[in-house]
Structure 1
Amino acid sequence: MADINKTRVSNLGANNRSPVFDDVEQGKAPSVNFFVNQRPYNMAYYLADGIYPSYPTFVKSIRLPQSEPDKLFAKFQEGCRKDIERAFGVLQARFKIIREPARLWDIADLGIIMRSCIILHNMIVEDERDSYSQRWTDFEQSGESGSSAPQPYSTEVLPAFANHVRARSEFRDPNVHQELQADLVKHIWTKFGMFRD
């Protein structure tokens, strides 16, 4: 999945009160353009677990995978989703406000709180970075980082009502969900399948 822009990869967890979920459902999500297996896609997607609907914006794992490509996809999807959950756990450990119940908060306020905590966390990490910057430099020079150049993407917000209706319809299309998942399975198998034991 390294070729696919990681800024699009996020986890919504089990909370449908997520501002991201609301923005996507209302057609306010960023517009992105990317290719998987030479097929174009124009909708950001989020790694999700099985409780989410089969919408193109939610890439879920494959329940009881049978084929080797499906098993490898499930391993990558679940691993990436767990990394994101761990990152959220770091924020919860650092900021008490994130651990507290949020049902009574306004969605816009929750978004501001989360962004503020992420910014504060990044400021703290940057401040502490001097203590381990040499180890990171050594790691990057060894060529083990595995990072790839980020792919360009557009963040244009859909302005007109007609676009809103179209986006909402596309957002709920289970066929596009299955096409994207199948393309991701093929992509991961092509990229990483030959290195399996």
Structure 2
Amino acid sequence: MMGSIDCMHWQWKNCPRAWKGLYQGRSKSATVILEAVASGDLWIWHAFFGTPGTCNDINVLARSPVFDDLYQGRAPEVTFNVNGNTYNRGYYLTDGIYPKWAVFMPAIRLPLSPVDELFTKRQESVRKDVERAFGVLQARFAIIQRPSLIWDEHLMWEIMLACIILHNMIVEDERDTYLNYQDASDFEQENASIASTSSSHRLETFYVQPGRYNDIGMQQYLQNRADAWDRDVHNSLQKDLAQHIWHNCRQSTNDE
């Protein structure tokens, strides 16, 4: 699980009259949408801002670059095992509006068994991380909590980006006070030990070639996108996660 994804609306009070119909959604006021991915410590590591408020989460996703690295083969390789099955795609926790892709994991809409009920309860509790991040972001910076008085949409994006950067700086500074915090110095010591080995085993220098990066071709691009949209993998992963959570819960209950 790589985090939770959701959207937040920022009211645009001084939206130009010519754009009013484009940005005015069902709230009857002009808004601009922020799509964000947040982890459990409220770190916001993906932000896409500027979609008109008339769009829903699916329309925002169609414009968002959140999966560009995955489609173009630049995303880090991910492999994990759940309930005896191996998967090679990370996933985001979502609400019910998002499509049933291999990279999305919503709650079960109508759980009919204790296994599904427990999975839905755990998924909904963890998915609130991104909504908590939105709440903390607005509580820290009143400028994005109140209706925007700015005329320029690009300036609104700069303000939103500055608030997100400052928010992440605060999270990084206070992360060691969290209940489930793990000291990252362990990884730093491990990397230092690797770098201090003999010269024949030292890490190679990484170079970035100018021009188009990682040209995988259209065929591989379409295949990566089809793998990310695979509904069968989504259903299989959801069942395996439900069983995994159920077995762990029963085991912890027996241990007590």
Q: TM-score, normalised by structure 2?
A: 0.53
Give distance in 2, aligned partners of 1:148 and 1:179: 34
Work out whether 1:165 is the aligned partner of 2:222.
Answer: yes
Correspondent of 1:189 among 246, 249, 255: 246
Work out whether 1:179 is the aligned partner of 2:236.
Answer: yes
Q: Which runs of 5+ in 2 are unaligned?
A: 8-55, 185-212
| CA deviation after TM superposition for structure 1 residue 87, in Å | 1.6
Q: Which runs of 5+ in 1 are unaligned?
A: 1-5, 150-156
Per-residue CA distance 1:103-134 (angstroms, 9 max, x = gap) = x968xx96x8766433311323566x4xx97x
Aligned-residue sequence identity (percent) comes to 40
Give distance in 2, aligned partners of 1:27 and 1:114: 27
| CA deviation after TM superposition for structure 1 residue 73, in Å | 0.4
Higher strand share goes to which structure?
A: 2
CA contact (8 A) 2:57 2:98 kept: no
Q: How does 1:21-100 map to 2 (within 5 A)?
A: 21-24=64-67, 27-28=71-72, 30-31=75-76, 32-95=78-141, 96-97=143-144
2:3 aligns with: 9
| CA deviation after TM superposition for structure 1 residue 148, in Å | 11
Aligned pair count?
168
Give distance in 2, aligned partners of 1:126 and 1:22: 25
Q: TM-score, normalised by structure 1?
A: 0.66
CA contact (8 A) 1:98 1:114 kept: no
Give distance in 2, aligned partners of 1:38 and 1:159: 34
- Greater relative contact order structure (CA < 8 Å, 6+ sep): 1
| CA deviation after TM superposition for structure 1 residue 64, in Å | 1.9
Per-residue CA distance 1:23-47 (angstroms, 9 max, x = gap) = 3277157342222123222222111
Q: Which structure has the larger Rg?
A: 2
Give distance in 2, aligned partners of 1:65 and 1:85: 23
Give distance in 1, aligned partners of 2:88 and 2:239: 16
Structure 2 vs 1, CA of residues 42 and 125 (structure 1 numbering), >3 Å: closer, same or farther? closer
Structure 2 vs 1, CA of residues 179 and 159 (structure 1 numbering), >3 Å: closer, same or farther? farther
| CA deviation after TM superposition for structure 1 residue 190, in Å | 1.4
RMSD, aligned CA: 3.8
